[in-house]
Copies of this chain bind each other. A is one copy, B any other.
Amino acid sequence: MKIAVLPGDGIGTEIVAEAVKVLNALDLKFEMESALVGGAAYDAHGHPLPESTLKLAKEADAILFGAVGDWKYDKLDRPLRPEQAILGLRKNLGLFANFRPAICYEQLVDASSLKPELVAGLDILIIRELTGDIYFGQPRGRREAPDGEFKGAPEAFDTMRYSKPEIERIAHVAFQAARKRNKKVTSVDKANVLETFQFWKDTMIEVHAQYPDVELQHMYVDNAAMQLVKAPKAFDVVVTGNMFGDILSDEASMLTGSIGMLPSASLNVKNQGLYEPSHGSAPDIAGKGIANPLATILSAAMLLRFSLNQEEAAQRIEAAVQKVLAQGLRTGDIWSEGTTKVGTAQMGDAVVKAL
């Protein structure tokens, strides 16, 4: 078994180092190999996703990913910017199923913007389709407007697309995930406006026929953005397209108040997966040793569960994280009066000790 370790930029290197520490402490047999990605790879090789990094990622059973991006790359042409690495990995490896849990840890309820009673016990799973939609749809670009009120004016355009097999496979993922949880799927669409999402909705209904034990609810994306604020606990599994999923999964993780705790997994049909924290590269605090490594450590647990089939080891990590929280250890982002503030490495060490 092989894990590709891609720390990336900003706090990426610091938080991934802690997750690697935890993986090494497990006494399991797997190989780990590191490579540059994002801005770090651009600096060294002139490209955010060099051939060698892509090759390593393809060969590995799983990828442990940190984060990419830094303001200093803002001026580069789009294809060279750090975030192209993550888009490239998703597309090249076919990582179509993105799992983004939004969990509010009991001890961290007060960190939320929301009133405690609205988020205590929150545990929802957002499943975002990750290789289709307007993210990759062709054609796209700039041109003279071919028609309409401003015919002839410069315009830019993109194509939103979903084919039936793409919707079907993410639907199966969602219904199967719901079976292991509270058996409710909310499919988020914009069927009242978009052809793509009327088709999405129709296809969800078709696939649902195979899962009579799971409840299927349909919700417009604007309403979903509201209901997440109003009553987030009413959701169980949320499934949606790439663009809406980008927005709603970030909104949902911020609701918990502790995005520094939230892992994510992106899987392909072979259960090869990329595992990364839900938060970004936070260049403003990079190198200071204060970033929260727990989302990355919990991503490593998901990696063991989904791609390496090591459920027991995954649970050991998750229990260890619960333990350090119970011990009152907190990085700055989740710190509150009465708890002990620790740095990135101290937090990683504490998890290792708690294993």
Contacts and interface: CB of A to CB of B under 8 A. Distances in A.
A140 B113 CA distance: 39
A187 B55 CA distance: 38
Copies of this chain present in the complex amount to: 2
Contacts of A270: none
Contacts of A147: 138
B159 A155 contact: no
A210 interface: no
Interface string A160-194: 11111110000000000000000000000010111
A225 interface: yes
A155 B247 contact: no
Range for the number of chain A residues in contact with chain B: 35 or more
Contact of A156 (B138, B198, B254): B198
A215 interface: no
Contacts of A166: 150
A59 interface: no
Interface string A93-120: 0100000000000000000011100100
A250 B222 contact: yes
Contacts of A94: 149
Nearest to A138: B147
Contacts of A137: 157
